[in-house]
Structure formats: structure tokens, C-alpha cells
Chain A
């Protein structure tokens, strides 16, 4: 029973990682860059919801919508200001810029909201589900998180395979030059990708802070790193890979902390990642790129 409880928590945490990982993997696929600032966009989203709920007394949905709008705008702005000018630069240069952007967001948040951790309000007024004669209790939020992940995953898969913009995104990921020649507006496509990723970040922020209610400017940092590793773990650039990587990572983290050691929880997660990558060097669902000789 305890195992089931841990498993469910693992899937839930993993779902949050998966939603964050989706943002990383989509942006990587299309812009071939690691958007380090993504984790901090999550933090911004969480803070917006916090302000909306705490100071302006809004309920769940309006707060979430405002946060999604702000994050989307933020993501698009960051892309236009800092990443677009560097499209021809080396990937390392873009990486450092993204890191600078991450510092920028963290320190701005620090200035606005201070370093003291805020307690995230409980916005989901859901009952805890009790199963097996009270031996297994699952919080409503946990199930919502898992459900949200599934819905997002299905939605994104349909979007990228059926919709015109989704197909455009796939084209730009494969061959930017050819996509441009086919009349696809690359700038818009990239902006849309960042927009979607950032909107998802807001959702992730809500779910993350609902489960772990401490909110500080550095809140997004570690989940960002873990989600980024999850994206690579699942195969960078692959949407199902991000989902799989995220969920697995969450499960490994919770089970590791529960059954092996709490202090070494992170070490276990990263150790598993290393082992998997050694066996499958391009991630679980990643494609090996053959170089033409």
C-alpha cells in the first residue's frame, strides 16, 4: 500500500517534470537550443498565481489564465530579445545567453518579491480520495496533475500531427532552410513554440507549487534542471520522450527517496539517468543521427 502511494506520488511529480520537459524538448527541437530560462519562467508563473490568488483574491482558473498569459508573453519576449539575434551563433553562445536570462529572471523576482519563501495558497478545493479501507489516500491535486499531463500530451500530439502550425513546427525542426523555402514563416513558428512552452510552464508552476507549497525565486531552478535531464533522458526533441522521461524521473526520485535514502535521492535519479544513457546513448526514444561519411 505504501508502495502504491509512493508510486502515485512519483507519477504525479513525474507529470510535473513531464510538462516542464515538454517545453525544453519542443524549443530544442525547433531552435536547437537549451532554454535555461525555462525553469525560471515556471517560477514567474507560480508567483503571478500567488499574487493573483493572495492579493487580488482570484480563484484558480482566472489566476491560472493570467499566469499563462504573462508567461506566454514573457517567453515570446525573451525569444525575440535574446535568442533570435543569436540564431547564427554557436550553440554555446546561446546557452550562456540563456543562463544570463535565467539569472535575470531570478534576480528580478528577488527584487520584486524578496528572498523569503512564500507559502503557496491551496487553490484546489478537492477531496482526498480514500481507497482500500483508508490504507491509500490520494490527494485531489495529485490526480489532477496526472490528468493534466495526459490531456496536454494528447493535445500536443494531435496539434503537432494534425494542425497546420504543428506541421510547420515539425518542418522547421527538421530543416529550417527548406521550411523557409516552402513558405513557412519561421519566426512565427518559433515564437509559437516558445509561447506554448511558456504557457505550459505556467501550468507546471501551479501544479508544482500546489504539491510543494514553498515558493522562492530559486524554486524553478532544480525542477528545471531535473526536467531538462528528463527531456534528454527521454530523447531530446521527442515529445513522447519528454513525457516518458519526466514521468520515469519522478517515479525514480520518489521511490529512491522512499526506499533507498532521502539524502541521496537526487544522486540516485542522476545515477539512473547515466546508466540509461550508457545503454541507449540517444535517450529512450531519441533517434540516432547518422553522419554521412
Chain B
């Protein structure tokens, strides 16, 4: 682990780079010097960054493999869409910013509650069994969302499950998903959400609770012997991640005119996991880079046309093979000053 000073600097640099990028991109948007494709991807990139950072909290900091993270994004997305539609149609709230904020908060809260409920059974299991159960929950959420119908009538919300014969304006139409969403998400909102996520995750990690979460990851039995309640801290990471994922989902959902529940499938969960692994497990700044880069990459590979996804797959495999090659690893270690630590330790002892 880096020293406190090094971690502080890394955090500050991360914030700085994100703020700088926001400023630069906003200027480019104003100058119309940004490509249309990139402009359209800005909000999704923000969402995926939040997804990747929050998943890294579970996988990297807490050390548990979650294969159903997209499920929380789904809950957040559709909760957010319903909230926005309800506020608009039922309470005539015209202000898009207020609606967006309330939608994101609601999406996060509901996803967080789902995370707590799901966490109770999930976190009792270990290793691959835990992973499988997260996968199972992700699929259950997708399946269930496919059967949910919501309509707003006056100030009331009408719910339907498995049948969509509801009075009022339809907001969610079962397998057809969200209906005629007013896209109120903005890049600024995305940037603020990313900053919020970074503050939450970085501050949590560098705190007493974060240390407990990492101790529980590194050596469960030792941590327990130190009086650390393993389940409590695993839940903390899991629920925080779920809440953030829900917020990302709300942002994402309110940037798409149409959205179907099957969009949030196992494939999306795996995508986010790939961002996390390629960016470095436990490496928060890394997740930002990989989420952004890997969202842009498929577009950049468009010139390959039909070979695009194939190229992506090959690149992914090569990236994994190269980064885990023992030769590359020792090369990397020599470049990093971590080598000094061991010498210091032994030297001091002999003094």
C-alpha cells in the first residue's frame, strides 16, 4: 500500500484531471469543436465511470466478485425514469434540473435498498458461490423488470405486474421498457455524479471503515480476531456500490429516449467487470480511464466495420495475456520504487 502522502496526491490528481477534462470538454461543446459521436457518448461515459468505480469498491476494495452489478443500474434507471415521469405528469414539475436531481437520488436510494436486501443472503457465501448468487440476482432483476408496468394517473402511480392494462399515462411498459422518456440528463450532472462518486469511494477507502473493509478482504480470520464484523463491512461496500450504481442508472436512463429492461443483462455486468480488471483491481483512477476508453473504443473501431467486435475481443485477450506475463510483471516492478521498502525493512532491523 502506498504511504498516506502518496495516496493523497493520487486523489488530488484524480480530482484535478476529472475537473480539467470537464472544463475542456465543456469548452469544446460550446465551440462546437467536438465530434457528434463523442458528444453523444459523454453522459454514458459518466455513467459507466460511476459503474466501474462502484464495482471496484466491491471487487477491488472489498474483494468480492459481483457479476450482477448491472441489476442495480437497471433498478436505478427505471426508478429514475418513473420518478421523473411522475413528477412531470402528476405534480407538473417542469424544471428538468430538479426532476433530474430527485430522479438520481431516488434511483440511488431504491438501488441501495435493493443492495441491502440482496446483500443479506449474498454476503453469507464465499468466493465463487457468492459470485454465482450475484449473477442470479442480476438475472432475476432483469426478468422481473421485464414484467413491470407503471402508469401515472393524476397524482397517483398505478402498478401492474405481468399485465399492462393500466389507467393513466404509461411510464413503463413491461418488456418494451420506458415510454417516451424526456431526456433531461446533462453532461454537467454526469460530471457532478462522477465527482460525488470519487469523493465517496476515495474517502471511504481512506478511512477507518475502508481499512476494515480491506482487512476483511486480505485476511478474514485475522480481521475477525481484531473485532471486525466481516458481514457489516462487506455490506457497507456492497450497499454503497449499489447506491452509486443506481444513481448512474438514473443518469443513464434519463439520457435515452427509449430503454428496455433486457439492456441491463449479464453482458453489461461483465462489461463493467472488464473495465475494472483492465483499469486495475483496487485502482480507482484506473477505472476512470478504462471505463472512458473502453466506451469510446468500439466507436473508434468502427472503421473495422464487421470485424469491430472481433477486434475488441482479440484486444481484450491480448491485454490480459500481456499484463499477466511474468516477464512484463518483473519489468514493471523494477520501474516502481516499491523495491526500496524491503531493503529499508531489513536494514533497519540489523542496525
A adjacent to B, CB under 8 Å: yes
Q: Enumerate chain A interface residues (CB-CB to B < 8 A).
A: 34, 82, 85-86, 88-90, 92-93, 96-97, 99-101, 103-104, 107-108, 110-111, 225, 228-229, 232-233, 236, 261, 263-267, 270-271, 273-274, 277-278, 281-283, 291, 293
CA separation between A273 and B266, bound complex, in Å?
Answer: 17
CB <8 Å contact, B270 and A99: yes
CB <8 Å contact, B326 and A93: no
- The reply on B28 being an interface residue by CB < 8 A is no
Task: Give which listed residue, A111, A229, A278, contacts B132 with CB less than 8 A.
Answer: A229
**Known contacts A111-B307, A274-B137, A96 near B320 by CB under 8 Å:** yes
CB <8 Å contact, A100 and B324: no
CA separation between A265 and B142, bound complex, in Å?
Answer: 12
Contacts of B124 in A (CB 8 A): 278, 281
CA separation between A277 and B147, bound complex, in Å?
Answer: 26
**Known contacts A232-B128, A277-B133, A278-B121, A270 near B140 by CB under 8 Å:** yes
Contacts of B133 in A (CB 8 A): 273-274, 277
Contacts of B135 in A (CB 8 A): 225, 229, 270
Q: Which of B17-25, B197-205, B229-237, B311-319 contacts A (4 or more CB under 8 A)?
A: B311-319
CB <8 Å contact, A86 and B144: no
Given A97-B321, A236-B129, A278-B124, 19 new contacts (CB under 8 A): A34-B128, A86-B321, A88-B326, A93-B320, A100-B316, A104-B317, A225-B135, A228-B132, A232-B129, A263-B143, A263-B146, A267-B144, A270-B139, A274-B133, A274-B136, A274-B137, A277-B133, A278-B121, A278-B125
Write out, one digit per residue, whether chain B residues 280-314 have a CB within 8 A of any chain A CB (1) or not (0): 01000000000000000000000000110110111
CB <8 Å contact, A264 and B316: no
- The reply on B221 being an interface residue by CB < 8 A is yes
Sample (6) of A-B pairs whose CB atoms are under 8 Å apart: A88-B324, A88-B326, A99-B273, A225-B139, A271-B136, A273-B136
CB <8 Å contact, A92 and B121: no
Q: Enumerate chain B interface residues (CB-CB to A < 8 A).
A: 59, 65, 121, 124-126, 128-129, 132-133, 135-137, 139-140, 143-144, 146-147, 162, 221, 266, 270, 273-274, 277-278, 281, 306-307, 309-310, 312-314, 316-317, 320-321, 323-326
Contacts of A82 in B (CB 8 A): 317, 321
Task: Give which listed residue, A103, A233, A266, contacts B313 with CB less than 8 A.
Answer: A103
Task: Give which listed residue, A86, A96, A107, contacts B309 with CB less than 8 A.
Answer: A107
CB distance from B61 to the nearest CB of A (A): 14
CA separation between A86 and B266, bound complex, in Å?
Answer: 24
| Pairs A-B, 6 closest by C-beta atoms | A103-B313, A100-B316, A270-B136, A267-B143, A89-B324, A104-B313
CB <8 Å contact, A236 and B147: no
CB distance from B161 to the nearest CB of A (A): 10
Contacts of B310 in A (CB 8 A): 104, 107-108, 111
CA separation between A99 and B313, bound complex, in Å?
Answer: 9
CA separation between A241 and B324, bound complex, in Å?
Answer: 33
CB <8 Å contact, A96 and B316: yes
Q: Which residue of B lies closest to A280 (CB)?
A: B129
Q: Which residue of B lies closest to A263 (CB)?
A: B147
Contacts of B221 in A (CB 8 A): 291, 293
CB distance from B21 to the nearest CB of A (A): 26
Contacts of A225 in B (CB 8 A): 135, 139, 266
CA separation between A104 and B137, bound complex, in Å?
Answer: 27
CB distance from A85 to the nearest CB of B (A): 6
